[in-house]
């Protein structure tokens, strides 16, 4: 029969090739599988190709990774790029590790690590690419025991252990008895850390497990303690507040930065120590890139003298870590506009209450000013006149102090009183309640007032309502008794 020949429009998909060797990826995956299965099924040992098959020296630069079993496995399992293979090869060379691996062992290590640490494939990939030598280790004898010992020593949850390994893959190459335990014991003893404090320190800075206590950690701690005149308890506080300090060189980083900061602000040794103790995170800032530009911007934006800048930093060391562009400049501009302040008034307010520099204007200061202006029935000019003599009014909590105190004053009849602003903010609780007692408009018995003062601030309005409801009945009962 002479029927027409119908050509199918279906075309088989083209097989992608490896950019490194031109081998189809499907074939490469098959080869990796063969390399995995042959030794296990036949007992034949496949000779591993040399990393430099052309005889080049390992120290000579190479723009192309070798195509040994390690590269084949990484390509097949993780679809690595050329740049990633070069980096992995460099790490193996740096540590003088034979790049040839047993694919069966590598596959087992990956699968068991993934299962043990509940890793995603990307997390596993990150670990292997940062520590390719892990593929040549025995999971049963070289990886699992140190992991179990580390988890037990620090009382880590499975999630914490997994996070630690992902952040510091090199821990998989440490021996517990020879590396990890000596570091933990020396650090715990030197800083008098509890087991929980040690756990928090390691989970926040896993890299310290790879630091030498004798060569790095202990000498840096001694130098820092001596430089700042810290007690052992204060040194522990600094380290717990800024764990990364354990990885810094005192001679190269910490010492020079402290010297520059002290000189710039004309600080005494005691003042310098107090600044670091209050804000340990400053030890992690570069003087030239962070601290110096921040101080210069503060001087410029607030027209501060050298002594005013010193007083500002001593009272609020954390200001050196604030962003000038994202935080300080927008805050100063908004505060100046809201209270109609001159430059001199703005400087005076900040020097009197430096902590306002750490507040959000829209999330903290503005709602506070709006509430106080309404509650005390103040005009914008009157609000400004009351805030300027008492800038600390901007530092008290709206929800924990102003709202409950104003609510209590309102319940007692002190409504819209312009004299309420300062007592509601600046007074201690005892003094505020005494002030209310003098101004309240209801007759509350002494014993009821004592009970009211003993209640938490946010419960006093309800307590006042209950007491006020009882007073008329008590008075009525007294009148009925006298008539009888």
- Would you give per-residue pLDDT tens digits along the chain (484 residues)? 444 444 444 444 444 444 444 444 444 444 444 444 444 443 433 334 333 333 333 344 444 444 467 888 888 899 888 888 888 878 876 665 555 678 888 999 999 999 999 999 999 999 999 999 899 889 999 999 999 999 999 999 999 999 999 999 999 999 999 999 999 999 999 999 999 999 999 999 999 998 888 888 999 999 999 999 999 999 999 999 999 999 899 999 999 999 999 999 999 999 999 999 999 999 999 999 999 999 999 999 999 999 999 999 999 999 999 999 999 999 999 999 999 999 999 999 999 999 999 999 999 999 999 998 988 888 999 999 999 999 999 999 999 999 888 888 887 776 555 667 788 888 888 888 888 877 654 556 677 677 777 878 777 777 666 554 444 434 444 434 433 3
* Count, residues in the chain: 484
Contact 332, 346 (CB under 8 A): yes
Place of tokens 């001159």: 342
What is this structure's pTM?
0.73
Closest CA to 355 of 312, 324, 384, 301: 312
What would the two tokens of residue 323 be? 């962003």
CB-based contact 294:327 (threshold 8 Å): no
Q: Is 52 helix (H, G, I), strand (E, B) or coil?
A: coil
The runs of H, that is alpha helices, within 266-342 are 269-278, 292-302, 306-315, 329-338
């Amino acid at each position: 029969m002479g029927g027409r020949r119908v050509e199918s429009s279906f075309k088989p998909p083209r097989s992608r090739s490896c950019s490194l060797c031109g081998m189809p990826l499907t074939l490469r995956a098959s080869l990796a599988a063969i390399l995995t299965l042959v030794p296990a099924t036949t007992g034949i040992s496949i000779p591993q190709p040399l990393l430099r098959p052309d005889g080049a020296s390992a120290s000579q630069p190479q723009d192309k990774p070798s195509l040994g079993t390690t590269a084949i496995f990484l390509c097949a399992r993780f679809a690595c790029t050329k740049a990633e293979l070069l980096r992995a090869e460099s790490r193996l060379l740096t540590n003088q590790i034979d790049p040839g691996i047993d694919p069966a062992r590598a596959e087992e290590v990956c699968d068991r690590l993934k299962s043990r640490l509940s890793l995603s494939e990307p997390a596993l990939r990150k670990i292997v690419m940062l520590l390719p030598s892990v593929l040549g280790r025995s999971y049963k004898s070289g990886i699992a025991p140190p992991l179990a010992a580390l988890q037990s020593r620090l009382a880590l949850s499975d999630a914490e252990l997994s996070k630690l390994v992902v952040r510091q893959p090199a821990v998989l190459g440490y021996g517990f008895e020879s590396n990890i335990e000596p570091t933990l014991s020396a650090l715990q003893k030197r800083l008098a850390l509890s087991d929980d404090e040690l756990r928090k320190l390691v989970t926040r800075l896993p890299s310290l497990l790879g630091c030498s206590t004798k060569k790095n950690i202990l000498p840096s701690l001694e130098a820092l303690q001596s430089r700042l005149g810290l007690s052992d308890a204060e040194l522990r506080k600094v380290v717990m507040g800024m764990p990364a300090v354990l990885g810094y060189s005192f001679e190269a980083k910490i010492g020079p930065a402290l010297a520059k900061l002290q000189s710039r602000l004309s600080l005494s040794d005691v003042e310098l120590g107090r600044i670091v103790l209050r804000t340990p995170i400053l030890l992690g800032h570069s003087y030239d890139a962070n601290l110096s530009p921040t101080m210069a911007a503060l001087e410029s934006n607030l027209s501060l003298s050298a002594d005013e800048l010193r007083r500002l930093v001593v009272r609020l060391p954390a200001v050196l870590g604030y962003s000038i562009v994202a935080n300080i400049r927008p805050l100063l501009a908004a505060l100046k506009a809201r209270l109609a302040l001159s430059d001199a008034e703005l400087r005076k307010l900040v020097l009197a209450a430096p902590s306002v520099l750490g507040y959000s204007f829209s999330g903290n200061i503005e709602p506070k000013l709006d509430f106080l202006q309404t509650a005390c029935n103040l005009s914008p000019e009157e609000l400004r006149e009351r805030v300027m003599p008492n800038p600390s009014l901007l530092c008290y909590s709206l929800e924990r102090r102003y709202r409950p105190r104003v609510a209590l004053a309102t319940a007692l009849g002190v409504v819209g009183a312009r004299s309420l602003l300062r007592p509601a903010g600046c007074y201690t609780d005892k003094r505020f309640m005494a002030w209310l007692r003098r101004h309240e408009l209801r007759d509350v018995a002494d014993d009821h007032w004592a009970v009211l003062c003993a209640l938490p601030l946010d419960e006093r309005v309800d307590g006042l309502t209950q007491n006020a409801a009882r007073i008329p009945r008590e008075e009525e009962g007294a009148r009925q008794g006298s008539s009888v």
